[in-house]
């Protein structure tokens, strides 16, 4: 079997482990290169872990390390980027790395456009994709010149420079005064953002279409899921997701990707607008999704499909997948459920019913338990640290992000 090299980061630990296990269970030899010293991949039975330079801040050093790792091999291994920074790194270094690795990634120009939220929405608008009202170039000084439709969400233009990354995807504002305060704070930190009107409705109206598109014009591999709960409650990460199949939505997603000549793996998020029934574009992530493990367990494994494509095997694009299967991230869902309970929006019986079809967990698996035990054990340990240490740690994080 052709070996695989994965590039990842600590933030994408659950995504990384989902891909590692998808390949490792098929006896593929996997090497993980991560810049994060606490990556759960260090403890997996399905891979070898290597500490690596950061793809964003040390791209030259990372390129050198990767080439040194594989240059003596007779056949180039397959290379999968997991995080946003790693995707950009690979697209920028495609020419230098192509003699040593096999990979399928979209053009550098397109990926840079998609990595920037402002240009991403302009690309979507040009392709004719319906989306919420989006305000380009809005800031605290020209805010009063625009007729903004409230409430709104403030999103980072570059997600890998967001100070609250891994905690929330954006900040909300209910009126002009609140939006002005938020924008001034972000401008003082030199964090570029974009403002977008919020589509009403619960998280269960948020859908993600997971897609793999080969460069060989083979039929795309497609699966869909929806959020049932997420945390934070406003703009959080899915804590309880469920597989669905909506033909119209999947066709819309693939048509958009074909229009922009995208290849590789990605996840596209949409929200159904109750005012007109349309699925409106929220964002595209040109990488593996957090809930990759869910669609893989349900029957559509895009990591396996990508590997098969790059090694000359059939993609298995005609596979069916199980609907109504649920995936949970225990730490996030505990927080989400507790917050909903406090608001009177979730009862214990409701919570019990939501657990009925849960088949997968973000990090914990019976055949590879150590990564999940390590990650959640570390989370538990950090939760009981003295407040003085937590404050010191948060101060260091704030100082770090103010320099970005």
Q: Per-residue pLDDT tens for 208-219? A: 999 999 988 778
CA 92 to chain centre: 20
Assign 399 a pLDDT band (cuts: 50, 70, 90). Answer: very low
Q: In the prediction, which pLDDT does 128 show?
A: 93
| Short-list 125, 106, 105, CA closest to 117 | 125
Residue of higher predicted confidence among 397 and 315: 315
How far apart, in whole angstroms, are the C-alpha atoms of residue 195 and residue 203?
A: 20
Q: In the prediction, which pLDDT does 395 show?
A: 47
Burial letters for 270-291: b for 16+ Cβ neighbours within 10 Å, e otherwise?
bbbbeeeeebbbbbbbbbbbbb
Q: In the prediction, which pLDDT does 402 show?
A: 35
Q: What is the mean pLDDT of residues 174-178?
A: 94
Q: Which of 215-219, 257-261, 377-381 has the highest mean pLDDT?
A: 257-261
Q: What is the mean pLDDT of residues 228-237?
A: 86
Predicted confidence (pLDDT) at residue 242 exceeds the cutoff of 80 = yes
Residue of higher predicted confidence among 381 and 403: 381
How far apart, in whole angstroms, are the C-alpha atoms of residue 142 and residue 137?
A: 9
CA angle 142, 147, 153 (to 5 degrees): 80
Q: What is the mean pLDDT of residues 352-360?
A: 93
Assign 152 a pLDDT band (cuts: 50, 70, 90). Answer: very high
| Short-list 91, 93, 84, 92, CA closest to 64 | 93
Predicted confidence (pLDDT) at residue 396 exceeds the cutoff of 50 = no
Q: What is the mean pLDDT of residues 140-144?
A: 90
* Residues 79-129 pLDDT 10s: 999 988 899 999 999 999 999 999 999 999 999 999 899 999 999 999 999
| Short-list 258, 265, 247, CA closest to 79 | 265
Peptide bond into 232 cis (omega under 30): yes
Q: In the prediction, which pLDDT does 218 show?
A: 79
How far apart, in whole angstroms, are the C-alpha atoms of residue 84 and residue 95?
A: 19
Predicted confidence (pLDDT) at residue 357 exceeds the cutoff of 80 = yes
Residue with tokens 């574009």: 281
% of the chain at pLDDT higher than 70:
91
Q: In the prediction, which pLDDT does 386 show?
A: 62
Least confident of 45-54, 85-94, 381-390: 381-390
Show the DSSP H helices in 189-343 as ranges. Answer: 247-259, 292-298, 302-310, 330-342
Predicted confidence (pLDDT) at residue 363 exceeds the cutoff of 70 = yes
Let me know: does 291 contact 208? Beta carbons within 8 Å.
Answer: yes
User: Across all residues in the chain, what is the average pLDDT?
Assistant: 88
Q: What is the mean pLDDT of residues 22-44?
A: 92
Tell me the domains of the chain and their CATH numbers: 4-103 (3.40.50.720), 133-197 (3.30.1490), 203-368 (3.30.470.20), 371-402 (no CATH)
- In 3-state terms, the chain is what percent helix, strand and coil (to 5)? 40, 20, 40
Q: What is the mean pLDDT of residues 285-312?
A: 91
How far apart, in whole angstroms, are the C-alpha atoms of residue 90 and residue 108?
A: 9
Q: In the prediction, which pLDDT does 292 show?
A: 87
Q: Decide the pairing of beta strands 152-156 and 193-197.
A: antiparallel
Q: In the prediction, which pLDDT does 400 show?
A: 31
Assign 168 a pLDDT band (cuts: 50, 70, 90). Answer: confident
* Residues 190-206 pLDDT 10s: 889 999 999 999 989 99
Q: In the prediction, which pLDDT does 73 show?
A: 80
């Amino acid at each position: 079997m052709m070996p695989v090299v994965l590039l990842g980061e600590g933030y994408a630990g659950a995504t990384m482990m989902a891909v590692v296990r998808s390949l490792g269970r098929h006896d593929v030899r996997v090497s993980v290169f991560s810049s994060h010293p606490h990556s759960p991949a260090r403890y997996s039975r399905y891979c070898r872990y290597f500490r690596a330079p950061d793809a964003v801040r040390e791209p030259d050093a990372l390129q050198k390390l990767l080439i040194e790792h594989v240059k003596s091999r007779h056949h180039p291994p397959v290379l999968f980027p997991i995080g946003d920074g790693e995707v950009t790194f690979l697209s920028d270094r495609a020419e230098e790395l192509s003699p040593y690795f096999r990979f399928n990634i979209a053009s550098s120009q397109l990926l840079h456009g998609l990595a920037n939220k402002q240009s991403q929405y302009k690309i979507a608008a040009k392709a004719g994709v319906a989306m919420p009202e989006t305000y380009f170039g809005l800031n605290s000084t020209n805010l009063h010149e625009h007729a903004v439709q409230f409430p709104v969400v403030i999103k980072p233009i570059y997600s890998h420079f967001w100070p609250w990354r891994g905690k929330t995807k954006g900040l909300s504002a209910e009126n002009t005064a609140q939006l002005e305060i938020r924008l001034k704070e972000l401008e003082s930190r030199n964090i570029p953002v974009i403002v977008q009107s919020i589509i009403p409705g619960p998280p269960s109206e948020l859908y993600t279409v997971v897609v793999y598109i080969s460069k060989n014009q083979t039929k795309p591999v497609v699966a869909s899921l929806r959020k049932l709960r997420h945390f934070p409650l406003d703009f959080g990460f899915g804590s309880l997701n469920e597989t669905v199949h909506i033909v119209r939505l999947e066709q819309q997603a693939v048509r958009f990707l074909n229009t922009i000549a995208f290849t590789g793996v990605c996840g596209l998020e949409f929200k159904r607008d109750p005012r007109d029934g349309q699925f409106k574009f929220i964002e595209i992530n040109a990488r593996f999704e957090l809930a990759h493990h869910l669609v893989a367990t349900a029957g559509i494994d895009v990591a396996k499909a990508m590997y098969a494509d790059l090694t000359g095997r059939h993609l298995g694009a005609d596979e069916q997948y199980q609907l109504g299967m649920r995936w949970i991230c225990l730490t996030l869902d505990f927080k989400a459920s507790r917050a909903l309970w406090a608001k009177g929006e979730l009862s214990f019986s409701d919570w019990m019913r939501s657990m009925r079809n849960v088949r997968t967990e973000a990090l914990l698996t019976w055949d590879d338990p150590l990564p999940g035990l390590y990650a959640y054990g570390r989370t538990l340990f950090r939760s009981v640290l003295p407040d003085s240490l937590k404050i010191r740690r948060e101060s260091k994080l704030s100082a770090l992000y103010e320099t970005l």
